[in-house]
Amino acid sequence: MKRTKFLGFLMLGLILAVSPVFAGGGGQANPGGNVLELWTMFTGADGTTFTEMVETYNATNPAFRVNHMPITADELYLRLQLAVASGSGIPDMAVNHIERIPLFQEQNRIIDLAPFLANSPIRRENYNQRAWAMTQIGGGQYGIPLDVHSFILYVNWDLYQRYGITDLDDGVLTWDEVRATAQRLRTMGSNTIPIGLTWLRPMFLASYAQLGGTLSNDGINPSFDNPTAHRVVNNFLDLVNSGFTQQFGEDTWRLFLGGNMLYVPEGIWMFNDVRASGLNTRTFDFPVFDRNVKGNWTSSHQFTIPTRRNLDNDRVAASLQFINWAGENSLAWAHAGQVPAHVGGQRGDFPTLPQAFLAAQNEELKIYGYKYYGYAVESLDVVLGDMFFGNLDVGTGLRQALQETRDRIETSN
């Protein structure tokens, strides 16, 4: 047995021993009765909004009330794996990211919803078709989308107008325009930082997808150590070396909210911070290499029903009732910065919200479907910062991430 696999089993045993979900007394995930347990990764401000949505649903006096348990994403995925494996403490519903569902389906962690949908109020035509279709696997339906959420561009509009910038007059920002504007700001003696580097994973993935990059050529083996990936990383490395970004270790988002940065890529889910700061901003698509090829890294929160030995059809039906209600009433979720996947969430004042332009997009939404996506991006997370800021050779970093992904795939199998 490999040492990594042995350590994995050891860690599993320790978690089973100490976790309140699996140990006796308290923290039982599925309380039974007329309460449905729902696990999500909504632990921030979005979690507050989602809990309020659940409370509103419970106030309608449904036959089954919902208990919302927010858990950080990494912990949720681990706990869900262990719960299904042990057959104990399994929630009735769990929100998963769309990229994780192909592997979870293969590992039999989630059930096929297709047999239950005909007798539920859920209808495919009410949902974002791209987000719906990507969880159709082998003729089954393994997820129901709550939203699509993208990594886009925020612009300090006061600075944009003060310096007479015209980059976005056509609605698209190219990396060449970023460099030209950065040079102009330098010539003017401005201390404004031209562009910030924030969450490096989606910054890499958005650019990589724009250029046609895939994480795997055959759907199994990772293949992201290639000239396209090198070009993407070197683009950001050049911005850093040119002095057009923040310094290593600086808080990019704080610099932007403080009015010291012109452009910053960030998630739509961060808009509540912007609203609270009072900063005058506008939002656009993520910067591009070619103005004719847009591409925003995008994910989707999907409702799933975990696998259990004795499936209760009444509880599944009640879960689907809630999922449908959440979609129809997801305008509140839009006000948390998301793009609801259900048409019900795109009514009212949704068209006035800064992320509303994403609702009409299709090919611009770069959603990865690689079943080992989690292994790949977590391996990339380890090296992207050092590569972007010149602390690690690009080739060395990509090879390291590729090998770590391979090792994790081998261990998991």
Residue 410 has pLDDT above 90, yes or no: yes
Residue 118 has pLDDT above 90, yes or no: yes
Model pLDDT for residues 159-216, shown as the tens digit of each residue:
999 999 999 999 999 999 999 999 999 999 999 999 999 999 999 999 999 999 999 9
- The answer to whether residues 358 and 148 touch, using CB atoms and an 8 Å cutoff, is yes
Tell me, what's the pLDDT at 237? 98
Q: Under CATH, which architecture does the 26-146+300-358 domain have?
A: 3-Layer(aba) Sandwich (3.40)
- The average confidence (pLDDT) of the chain is 92
Residue 20 has pLDDT above 80, yes or no: no
**Residue the block writes with tokens 């910053």:** 264
Q: Where in the chain is the domain with CATH 3.40.190.10?
A: 26-146+300-358, 149-297+372-412
Q: 373 pairs with which residues across the strands? A: none
**Backbone phi and psi for residue 195, each to the nearest 5 degrees, phi listed first:** -150, 145
Model pLDDT for residues 274-331, shown as the tens digit of each residue:
989 999 999 999 999 999 999 999 999 999 999 999 999 999 999 999 999 999 999 9
Residue 1 has pLDDT above 70, yes or no: no
**Residue the block writes with tokens 């325009």:** 177
Tell me, what's the pLDDT at 44? 84
147-156 and 339-340 strand pairing:
antiparallel
CB-based burial of residue 36 (10 Å sphere; 0-12 exposed, 13-18 middle, 19+ buried)? buried
High-pLDDT (> 70) share of the chain, %: 92
Q: Tell me how far CA of residue 114 lies from CA of 142, 182, 344, in angstroms.
A: 8, 52, 22
Q: Which residues contact 105 (CB under 8 A, 6 or more apart)?
A: 137, 138, 140, 142
The 8-class DSSP code of residue 267 comes to E
CATH superfamily of 149-297+372-412: Periplasmic binding protein-like II (3.40.190.10)
CA torsion 399-404-407-413 (nearest 10°) is: -120
> Is 0.75 surpassed by the pTM of this model?
yes
Helices 3-18, 73-86: axis angle to 10 degrees equals: 90
Q: Tell me how far CA of residue 90 lies from CA of 79, 80, 158, in angstroms.
A: 9, 7, 50
